[in-house]
């Protein structure tokens, strides 16, 4: 591969990496769980924001969401039970947790999907 092709390939790779990184920008929010909501089969679960979480004092879980006041994880997402257990523990104990959210699509809209959670420091 000649030098100009190598530079072009490197520039393209960097551009694609930037696009991929930007598309999944992570937003961290911290607070106590205000509300938990579970979506059942009658409301198109799994895959319809099956577990929805609101955090006290947080009005935007991630940028660009139609309704950014809540974040979700679907029951068919990897490690759903672990995330559910962590959130439920924080809720029952009244302890703050940090949700790391990414913009995601449900139907025709953009919402905030929980990527991971942290309870404790």
pLDDT in tens, 25-74: 899 999 999 999 999 888 888 888 999 999 999 999 999 999 999 999 99
C-alpha–C-alpha distance, residues 56 and 24, integer Å = 24
Q: For the chain, how long is the longest CA-to-CA vector? A: 62
pTM: 0.77
> Nearest-5° angle of CA 83, CA 63, CA 25?
65
Q: Is the pLDDT of residue 11 over 50?
A: no
Taking CA atoms, 66 is separated from 14, 17, 60, 62, 86, in Å, by 30, 26, 10, 10, 26
Which residue ranges form the domains of the chain, and what is each CATH number?
25-119 (2.40.50)
Tokens of 61: 């879980």
pLDDT at 18: 35
pLDDT in tens, 93-118: 999 999 999 999 888 889 999 999 99
């Amino acid at each position: 591969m000649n030098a100009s092709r190598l530079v072009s390939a490197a520039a393209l790779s960097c551009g694609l990496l930037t696009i991929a990184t930007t598309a999944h920008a992570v937003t961290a929010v911290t607070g106590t769980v205000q509300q938990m909501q579970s979506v059942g089969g009658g409301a198109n679960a799994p895959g319809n924001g099956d577990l929805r979480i609101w955090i006290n004092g947080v009005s935007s879980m991630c940028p660009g969401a139609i309704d950014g006041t809540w974040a979700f994880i679907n029951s068919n997402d990897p490690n759903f039970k672990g995330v559910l257990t962590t959130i439920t523990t924080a809720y029952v104990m009244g302890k703050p947790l940090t949700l790391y959210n990414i913009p995601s699509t449900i139907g025709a809209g953009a919402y905030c999907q929980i990527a991971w959670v942290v309870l404790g420091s």
